[in-house]
Copies of this chain bind each other. A is one copy, B any other.
Amino acid sequence: MTQENKIPYKIYLEESEMPTRWYNVRADMKNKPAPLLNPGTLQPMTAEELGGVFCADLVAQELDNDTPYIEIPEEIRNFYKMYRPSPVVRAYCLEEKLKTPAKIYYKFEGNNTSGSHKLNSAIAQAYYAKKQGLKGVTTETGAGQWGTALSMACAYLGLDCKVYMVKVSYEQKPFRREVMRTYGASVTPSPSMTTEVGKKILAAHPGTTGSLGCAISEAVEVAVGTEGYRYVLGSVLNQVLLHQSVIGLEAKAALDKYGVKPDIIIGCAGGGSNLGGLISPFMGEKLRGEADYRIIAVEPASCPSFTRGVYAYDFCDTGMVCPLAKMYTLGADFIPAPNHAGGLRYHGMSPVLSQLYDDGLMEATSIKQTDVFEAAEYFARCEGILPAPESSHAICAAINEAKKCAETGEEKTILFGLTGTGYFDMVAYEKFHDGLMDDYIPTDEELAKYRESLPKV
């Protein structure tokens, strides 16, 4: 392995170089993301209406399509300093193994106990809840990273934390619950009998393995019905992408230090929090005409919102208690096949990213899960890090692009988001090793059926 002149394996920013402001990509979008609608009146949700569900400061961030930079409060910056900056890593070993002239970089967000980038928004949302004098927050979690992140943030600030965890993940990742308990959170598998909407879903679909959409409905119901509580969400929302812009801002600052400019930026996409955060400042340059980048969203073939969904107003949750969002969606009833182990199982997609995709400012691709795990193992063996299945979608796409460069001889610079680690995904890895993992992909007929649940807006 030869190390290129000057560029270290890992680029860390100094503490003093860390971002002090989040970047709001909406400010530079010509076509703004469509507003959330009140499902009753079909009118845009007002700040007052949203305030029943979310903290006031977060509502303001959610609705702010104009302010390009928003100050990161000092308390949040101090928390960030405990686990950030995260490194931009030059994948020298992967490049060598692939015999590619491409230069591969990844922004690694897994070096914290939540195991992913989710902590960036968890601490922000918990901070504003605390500032508002709330007692606690409720949320959903799928793979468990978001729930863990929120538990950590709440433990740090002394807030109560109630987590509804998608049942299939609760069962596949028994130890995630213990991590959340270590941080003092209560964890309920969803759908559950603790909420009206949970009871309804269980009655309609006995034995369901759950979905993020169900878990959101339950968490929202509890937040709205409990004094001193609000609901927080780990992805999809504009505010989440705002907080996650810290990923992209750090990545860009780190690459700028060494004069590196990516040609291709790749991120996995479930609800869009990681991808949206990673690409933010780069997309900003693209929107302002200052630079051009090829930007690729990677999703599982078993939950293909971008590549096979429709761009339409839809419910964010299965119980239909949330506002309507205009997004690429498979329909709020969509639940990926139970054999799907790779995360990224949300039926919809961030309205910001949906608009950018619809405007042709980014691409999307989907990958089947055995390919994802093959890429994960390949990556683990040369780069050392055991990646989360979610992140491995981006790894797979990055490897594919690097292989193309090996064929064409092009020395492209690739940046991808390595969102987290797979320590709690060993059941899935075991299935893969034992050859028990399959690649079920929904048929066109199935997808058409799910689309029937779309609201008529």
Contacts and interface: CB of A to CB of B under 8 A. Distances in A.
Interface of A: 1, 3, 8-10, 12, 14-15, 78, 81-83, 89, 92-93, 111-113, 115, 152, 155-156, 174-175, 178-179, 181-184, 377, 380-386, 421, 423-424, 426-427, 429-430, 433
Q: Which of A82, A111, A424, A427 has the most CB of B within 10 A?
A: A82
B424 A384 contact: no
Contacts of A156: 93, 381-382, 384
Given A1-B78, A8-B15, A9-B81, A384 B433 contact: no
A8 B174 CA distance: 36
A112 B110 CA distance: 10
B82 A178 contact: no
Nearest to A80: B9
B423 A184 contact: no
Contacts of A10: 15, 81-82
A381 B160 CA distance: 13
Given A8-B15, A93-B82, A175-B426, A113 B433 contact: no
Contact of A384 (B15, B83, B175): B83
Given A9-B81, A156-B382, A182 B113 contact: no
Contacts of A1: 78
Number of copies: 2
Contacts of A92: 78
A426 to B, nearest CB: 4
A9 B1 CA distance: 33
A433 B178 contact: yes
24 contacts: A1-B78, A8-B15, A111-B111, A113-B386, A113-B421, A115-B423, A152-B384, A155-B381, A156-B381, A156-B384, A175-B430, A178-B426, A178-B430, A178-B433, A179-B423, A179-B426, A179-B429, A181-B433, A182-B429, A182-B433, A183-B380, A183-B381, A184-B381, A423-B424
Contact of A113 (B83, B385, B430): B385
B423 A112 contact: no
A386 B182 contact: yes
A8 B113 contact: no
B82 A384 contact: yes
A386 B78 contact: no
Given A93-B156, A426-B175, A12 B9 contact: no
A433 B386 CA distance: 28
B386 A429 contact: no
A131 to B, nearest CB: 16
A8 to B, nearest CB: 4
A280 to B, nearest CB: 24
A1 B75 CA distance: 8
A384 B178 contact: no
A427 B421 CA distance: 19
A9 B83 CA distance: 9
A181 B377 CA distance: 10
A3 B77 CA distance: 11
B384 A112 contact: yes
Q: Which of A382, A384, A385, A433 has the most CB of B within 10 A?
A: A384
Nearest to A115: B423
Contacts of A83: 384
Q: Which of A174, A178, A423 has the most CB of B within 10 A?
A: A178
A174 B174 CA distance: 12
